[in-house]
Structure formats: structure tokens, C-alpha cells
Chain A
Amino acid sequence: MTGRLYGILLIIALAVSLVVPLAGCGGQKEKGTQAENTYTVADATGDWGFPSPYAHYFRGPGYIRMSLIFDTLLWKNEKEYIPALAKSWEYNAGENSYTFSLVENATWHDGSKFTARDVVFTIDYTKMHPYQGVSAGVVKKAEALGDYRVKMYLDRPYAPFLEYIGGTLPILPEHIWKDVGSPEKFQQEKALVGTGPFILEDYSKEQGSYLYRANREYYQGKPAVDRIRFVKMGSQVMAAALRQKQASAAQVPPELGGALDEEGFFILAGKHDWVAKLMINHQREPLNKKEFRQALAFAIDRQALVGTCLRGHGLPGSPGLIPPDSPWYNAAVENQYPHSPERAALLIKGLGYEKKGNFFEKNGRALELELLVSGGGQGSPGAPGDREGEMIKGQLEKVGLKVSLRSLESKTLDSRVAEGQYDIALGGHGGLGGDPEMLNRMILDKGFNSARYQDSQELNLALKQQLTLMDRESRRELVGKVQEIYAREMPALPLYYPTWYWAHDGRAPLYYTLQGVGSGVPIPLNKMAFVNQND
């Protein structure tokens, strides 16, 4: 009877609907299955790619997960450079060359010895296959002096050499990588043989989870933790996960910092590495005039933005782009643009605009700017959205500039900015904590995050020069001068730096690395925090 088909459907549905809720609510509370000493880190996105040097996604967290397996020549802690695969290194100004003397007791995870040949091979290999953050083109020649000394000749004085080639480039085992044609597709077991403190046990792309076990023979001492587990969790439930012991460390929303602190968690307020910027299209009338851009800087109350939109968890933007708590910060630019609508109006009048009613006009045509904003969605915490857009629109219209607000999907906005089809737009980027070479990228380069401002010769010259000053003190002074010119030219207006908070239960001494992990990753998961260094 055809009733059978119908009966079966009903029975399955009923049976399943009984089992699931029962199992759902009945189970025992989630107890930490800490067979051995497992350290769990919760992350909102979860999957950052297969943690081999060429396969992980080109984002900060991807680099962190790879750095646990592969070591670099030198590394950084919260204060300064510390030796890693290279015991010591010295710079010979005459030959413009660096000589590294390597540790002798380091071994690859598959047991073979680590020698200078691996370092030379890595430099040559990176020349053919550019590694994401680092261009090895600057090394003219690298030669191995015996098994444990390497000398690298630079083709030009390059200040960030130690930061990038020395401290970011992961050293690859020659005996594995020498015949790998397309490195990003090389995702077998062998691809994960490194010299780092941890070995990858499992990686699941769908669950967005990683499991590392300690490398007992690590040449810098046995890791303090047996296993590290990365787990994917919604950003709204991070705090609950910490409280229920489902995670030991996680990035938490700013508002919960205080509450978690009282409950005995360790709160780490992050360096201000991410900046929210007002991108200005300085090719278009009237934005091409310096005075107009300065007027914008006076008109927008950056302190109010931090107070309302970030609820105080952040610093107002410094006109020189570099955040106040960075070692390269130049205090002179501090209060060059206090919030004063009057001075803004004065500057605009100077450009020949008169105020009719409550908006400025010039020979009959109203002055109107279109402000592009990227709507809701999953931007990084503190990214400017339509709320900041509304506030800036209010402040500019108080001064007399008519603003029409338009919300776009984030990538559409990026492409609009890249093609210059915009007046002003809200955007932002990270990397401020790293080497000042970032300034070149954020002012001269062609990426949409960069201001692409070549008009001021003085600025261009200073920027090129600062790369070549090997001596730190004189470079600091030149970077300070760059900030002053930038503040005057104002190709893009830094609005604010959101403060990110990490919370952890103290089982590992997490800290923020000097100028970020590797080439500037603002995450406190420095691998050396998990290694109790015996020396």
C-alpha cells in the first residue's frame, strides 16, 4: 500500500527528533579533557591554512601557526632580538654583509642535522619562489663558511634586513625542498619538517582546528606545554569559553576586559598596531589641495570617535600615522590638528568657498563629498563601519561640508578605492607595529590601503633614504621627519587605533613581541612563551 512510503518518512522524523534534543541537553558539562598538559587557544576564524611556509594563508594568524614548526635565524621577545638558529650575528658595514654563526645542536624533526647549507638553500629558494612577506632579492650572494657559519652580501644598504630576512624568513630543510616545483601545492607530511619547538599532529580545515605536540629535542629547551590545541569559536562566546575552561587563551571584546580581570584571568592590552584611516582621493578637486585636507583633519573630532564608537577602548589617530606607543613615534606631531571646526571653516574659505545657508558653495555649485563605508559583516574588531560613518558625516556637516553616506560590501569598497572612484572612504590596515618600511608601503605603494601619494618630493626622498640607514638612531630621526611631512601633507587622515585585548589563564607567560611576531603580527602567541628557556 502506498501508505508505507508515507509511514516510513514519519517514523524517521519522529525518532530523530527525540534523540537529538535528548542527547543535546542531557550530556555532562564540557570538562576539559586534560589527559596531558594541553594548552587551548580559541580563534574566531579557525582555519588559517596548512601550516607549511608556502601553504598557510597570507594573514598574521597563518604565520603564527607556521612559526611554531619552523624556526628563523633570529627571533624576538618583548624587548629585543634573541638568538634562534643563529647564535650570533654581526654586520660588516664595508662589505655591507651579515655573518651568522649558527647553533650546532639543532636537528630537523626527521632527525637530520641542521647546517649552513640549509640557510643558503633557503635564500636561493626564496629568490625563485618569493615567500609572502619577505623579498630575498636584496641578498646578492649567500655563502656557507663551513657547517655552522653563513655570510650574506647585500646589494644595497637595507635597514629592515634583520627584521625580515633574519627574523621572519623560515629556514627550510634542503634535503626535502630541493626538488619541490610548486611550493604552495606541496602539502604532504614531509612539508612540515622544521626545527621549531612544536610538531603538527593534526590539522582539520573544516573544523578550523590544529593540534601540535611538543618537540622534546628542541635545541632551546623542552617546551613547557605537552600539546597546543587551536579551536574555532564564535567571537561572542570567547569569554564564556574561558570561564568554562574550554579555552586557555582567546581574544576578548574590549568591554569584558575588566570583568575577566577580576575573575583572575590575565588581560593583555595589545599594542596599537591597527589604524582606522579616512582614505582621501587627492586626485580629485578640491581634495587635491593640501589646505582642504588639513581642514578635514580639523573638522573631524578623533577623540569623540574613540569615546563613542570604541567606548574609550582605543587611541585617537596621530597625524603622523605612527601610533603614540610605537618606538618610532615622533611626539612633535602630537597636537598639530586639535578638533576646531572654526579653523576648518577658515581654511575652506581660504580656498574661495562661501557659506550659503549651512553648506559651502563655490560659483553656484554646492560642495558635496561622498563618504564610502563598508557595512556590518565580520571585519576585524574596531574596523570602521556605518556607525563611524554616521558620526563623521555629522561632524563634517556641522562645519558646512555636505556629505552623502553610502554603504558598500567590503571588497567592493576596496576595489572602488583602488580604481580612485571615490571622494573619501573609511578603511584601515594593520602592520604599524612592524619595521618602518611599512611607511613606504602605506604611502608610496600601489595597494588600495596605501595613500599612493607621490606629490611631495621631500616625502619621497625621506622615505627612500630611511630604508638605507643601517644605524637605528639616525633612522629613528629620519622616520620622525617623515611623520612631520606626512602630517603636513595629510594624504590620508588616521582616525583612531582600536585597542585589542587578549585574555589567558596564566598557564603560559604570553606577551606582545617587540614590533610584532615576525614582520609585525600583533598577536601575543610568541612560540618562545611556551618554551622554558634553560639558558
Chain B
Amino acid sequence: MLDIRGLTVRYSGLPVLKDINLTLEKGESLSIIGESGAGKTTLGLSVMGLVEGCCEGEILFQGKNLLSLKEEEIRRLRGREMAMVFQGVEGALHPLYTALDQVAEAIAVHSRKDAGSIRKKALGLLLSAGLDETTACFYPHQLSGGLKQRALIAMALANSPEILILDEPTASLDAGTKAEILALLNKLAGDRITIMITHDIHSAAYFSDRVAVLYGGRLIEQGPTGEVFKSPLHPYTRGLIRSCPDLSTTKDLQGIPGRMMPGVTGCSFHPRCTQRIHLCSLDIPEPVVTGGRLVACHRGGIVPLLEIKKLSKIFGKVKAVREVDLTLYQGETLALVGESGSGKTTLARTVMGLLKEDGGEFCLEGANISKRDAFFYQRVQMIFQNPMESISHRMNVLQAVREPLDINRPGDEEANNHLVRKALDEVELPGDQYFLNKYPHHLSGGEAQRVAIARALVLEPRVLIADEPTSALDASIQAKIIKLMLSLQEKRGLAILLITHDIALARKVSDRMAVMLKGSIVEEGPAGKLLGSPRHQYTRLLVNQSESPAKSMIL
């Protein structure tokens, strides 16, 4: 039985948790949801006794107050009575030891048995967690995100602790893997006290009996999962639930910029057309009939912006991308979905020239591109998954956003600064001096991603490639970023190639979808039709997995 009474935690004077009271019986599982920065992780750490700040109040467990124990005593409990799996899979495993070594160490710390039997037990744990003989002996950098998470879970459960704390176990995992992890956790939960910290409502709904909502360091709501999600009492909880994308809702209607204008020279639609060229404003386009279809547009209808023909990329023996053909049309959003490791990111990076393609070619606005020069970069831009990493921590916001201008158009500084403020304004970020001097590690995830987007848009590109732009962000911020990208598309006629593993998100945002499996595109087509009646069996699998298990519960 775990009893937390009046817990307050301060980091150098700043209160992060204020007066938390929680009691958990054996075999009970609790989810803690709320925005990042609400103190969820600190609560987990204080139970483990790993918090640097000073803690007041009591945490009673097995008749002892954990806060008053000496370091040596609580150290002996860690890993044996209580274990924690940390957020951010990236650096959690020691880069220089294999997964098997690290799990074996977790056992060896608390047991006297000989090395051989410990390694066998560790291997057994890893196998039960979903790794196989070979991947168990891999080094962390050779494991994919999902496998690392499984190894961490195996390590936490090494000495079958009474308390298991999971910090964002399913963040930045694709739907398939997320479902498997949740299933694994359910199987292994057994009669343990399990606390899951997450911002993903689905996982919380699927996994835990009770839910606690944290906001600004205070516990604002708590109760059985079903009731809290069906009828939230606190307005913040309702906002949280509503902003999370779900299969059941169809794609919002997207507005068209501007209004109908009478007496316009040239093509009447050109003031509102996002792919207009100078010719459009001069004379009226002739209607053209092709293959049973008629279109009256100087550019023959929606112009294919970016065409990728027979692109392939090989790493050593692994064929990451196999002769992919893909066309991105002007002003359209194409979602590229598929499991992690299916070659989505490799495709994006090869298009951008970060990786050298081993075959195939690209055409941008009809012209063939061989070398990535200023002409290419002023039309195609990219944003990355981890906003914090993609901005140099030595540059403040002003310098970061102005950098593309400094490179491609080193005009006078004042004009560039003005462009920067305009771009920041578009991504709804303040343009004042205080914010401009901030460094990346002062910004929150959402703000950093907005800066990245502003940087990408400052050159007014025609195409924006977004590689998992929101997977590392909280649901609420994710919604805002998606809404921002869509409104930019409306205003600027931006074509967006969205790379994501989240089918629900893709359906909500994209016009067309392409499904990628092991380096090649198995199916492509309008989003609604493709999801409505998937032809390829892999697409069907993807749709079923991402259908939220608790669908019945919510609506």
C-alpha cells in the first residue's frame, strides 16, 4: 500500500508540486495526465527518492516514510521494491553496454546469484518483453524506439518491484508499437501498484483503473477512468479530451482565403489562387480536355509541384527506399504513413539532399533537380521531429529564424529582422525583444517547434516537408501546431508532405495519403477513400490498430 500525504516539492524555491494526497492499494493502476511542466514527472521521481529539490510531507510505503530514509537505505529499495521507466527513450540506455548487460546489472545489484544464472534470467525477461535472441545483445544505438522501450520495461521489472512508475511509456511511438507496449504492460502489471504518467488520453483510458489530472502542480481531478472521460467535471479536463484527434470525427472543413472579387483581369480566380503565376493575371486561360477531364487553367489544373521518380536508397545491405514514385501537388497535404523503420524519414531526408540518393530523380515545378542549390532551398523546406534538437542551443530565437535569410539573401539586416518578426507573428509567437533573446532551452516544446516552422517559412517556400512534427509534443500543443500549419497552407498555398505514424492525425489533416511498408509505397489515394475501404491488407491492419480501443467508451 502506497500513501502520499501533503507532498510539496520545491526546486530552488520554486514550488513544483503543492500538497498532493494519493493512496494506492496493491494491484491498483493509476494514470496521471496533464500538460508537460505540470509536475507529473516530479511526482514519480519523489516516490523514487531521486528528486534534487527539497520535499515536504510524507510518502508511506511498507510502513516507512521514504522521504526520511537515508540515501543508503532508499538506494537498497530502488530497483527491488520500486522501479521507474523514464521519459524520452533516446538517452535512457547506457550507450556503451548492450541491453542484456544493463538488464543483468539491474538484477545483479540486488541478488547474490552467480553471473551465469543472472544473465539467463535477464535474457528471459527481455524475451518476455518482446526482444529476440539477437536484438537482446544489441547496443542501444542499434535498437529502434520501440525495442528500447521494451528493454527499459524489462529492466524495471527485473526484480518484480511492488511499485512500477512509467513516465510517458508510449510517447513518440507509432500506433502499432504503442498498442503492443500497452498490451505488454497490462500483462505484466499483475498485482503491482502501477502509476502511468502520460499526455496521451487513449493510453490512459486503455491502461489504468483510475485517472488523476494535474495542472500547475495541483491535483485538480481524480476518479475512475470511464466516468472521468465520459463526463469530465473540470473544464480543463474537457478541453484536454476534445483537443485529442480521434477517428470518429471527420476532417474539419478548411476555409479558402479572401473573397470573390468582381471585374478581375486574367483568370478570375487568380487573386485567391495559391499557385498563380504572372501569366494568370494577364489573360484568361483556355479550357483543356484531357482523358475525359476538362480544366481551364494556364497551368493545366492543380500543378504537380514536386515529382519523385524511381527514388531508392540503400544502407549497406538494407534497402531503405525501393524505387518510390510520389507526386506532391500544389497547395495539397499529402500524408506519408507507415510503421517506424518503413523508410519514411529516409525518403524525406533524401529529397532534402541530406542523404545521397542511390537511384531515381526529382522534378520541382517541372524542372529536373540534380544539385540542391539556392533555387531548390527557396522552394522546399523541412521541419524535424525533435524541435529542441533542430535549433542550435547557442542561437537565440532571432538568430535562429534569421539564419536562412543570412545564407540565401544576405541583404541588409533591418529588412531581414522585419521578415523574421513577420514570420514569428504568423506562427503566433511574440516578436518582442525579450522573446527574441531567448535560447532554445528556455522555450517549451511547442514554442520551439513554432520557431522551427517560422524558420522554415521565412524564405516563403512552396513545399514544406514535416517529419513527425508533433509526435514529441503534448496533445493540446499538437492540435495548435496542426491548426497553424493548415492555416498557413490556406494563406500561402503551401504544399505539405506530412510524415507521421498517427493515422488519426493524418486523416484529420491530409487530402491524400500514401502508406509505406519496408521502403515501398503499397497504397496511395485520397484520405477518406483510402481509410474508408483500404485495398491493401497492411493498410487495413494500420486502420484497425489505430481505431482507439476505448472508442466505445468515449462516444
Interface residues of A (CB under 8 A from B): 1-2
Contacts and interface: CB of A to CB of B under 8 A. Distances in A.
4 contacts: A1-B97, A1-B101, A2-B96, A2-B97
**Interface SS of chain A: helix, strand, loop or mixed?**
loop
Contacts of B96: 2
Interface in B63-97: 96-97
A9 to B, nearest CB: 15
A2 B98 CA distance: 10
Contacts of A2: 96-97
Nearest to A1: B101
A2 B97 CA distance: 8
Interface string B93-132: 0001100010000000000000000000000000000000
Contacts of B97: 1-2
Contacts, number: 4
A381 to B, nearest CB: 58
A2 B101 CA distance: 10
A1 B94 CA distance: 13
Nearest to B104: A1
Nearest to B105: A1
Interface residues of B, number: 3
**Interface SS of chain B: helix, strand, loop or mixed?**
loop
A2 to B, nearest CB: 7
A308 B160 CA distance: 86
A1 B101 CA distance: 7
A229 B101 CA distance: 62
Contacts of A1: 97, 101
A29 to B, nearest CB: 49
A2 B96 CA distance: 9
A118 to B, nearest CB: 76
Contacts of B101: 1
A169 B234 CA distance: 116
A499 B131 CA distance: 86
A328 to B, nearest CB: 80
B185 to A, nearest CB: 29
A5 to B, nearest CB: 12
Nearest to B96: A2
| Interchain residue pairs A-B with the least CB separation, the first 4 | A1-B101, A2-B96, A2-B97, A1-B97
A372 to B, nearest CB: 54
A296 B194 CA distance: 101
B472 to A, nearest CB: 32
B111 to A, nearest CB: 16
B141 to A, nearest CB: 15
A301 to B, nearest CB: 65
B113 to A, nearest CB: 16
A58 B212 CA distance: 96
A365 to B, nearest CB: 57
A3 to B, nearest CB: 9
B100 to A, nearest CB: 10
A482 B101 CA distance: 91
A1 B100 CA distance: 11
A316 B327 CA distance: 99
A1 B118 CA distance: 13
A1 B96 CA distance: 11
B264 to A, nearest CB: 73
A127 to B, nearest CB: 75
A114 to B, nearest CB: 77
A1 to B, nearest CB: 6
B95 to A, nearest CB: 12
Nearest to B115: A1
A1 B102 CA distance: 10
A180 to B, nearest CB: 65
B118 to A, nearest CB: 11
A1 B108 CA distance: 13
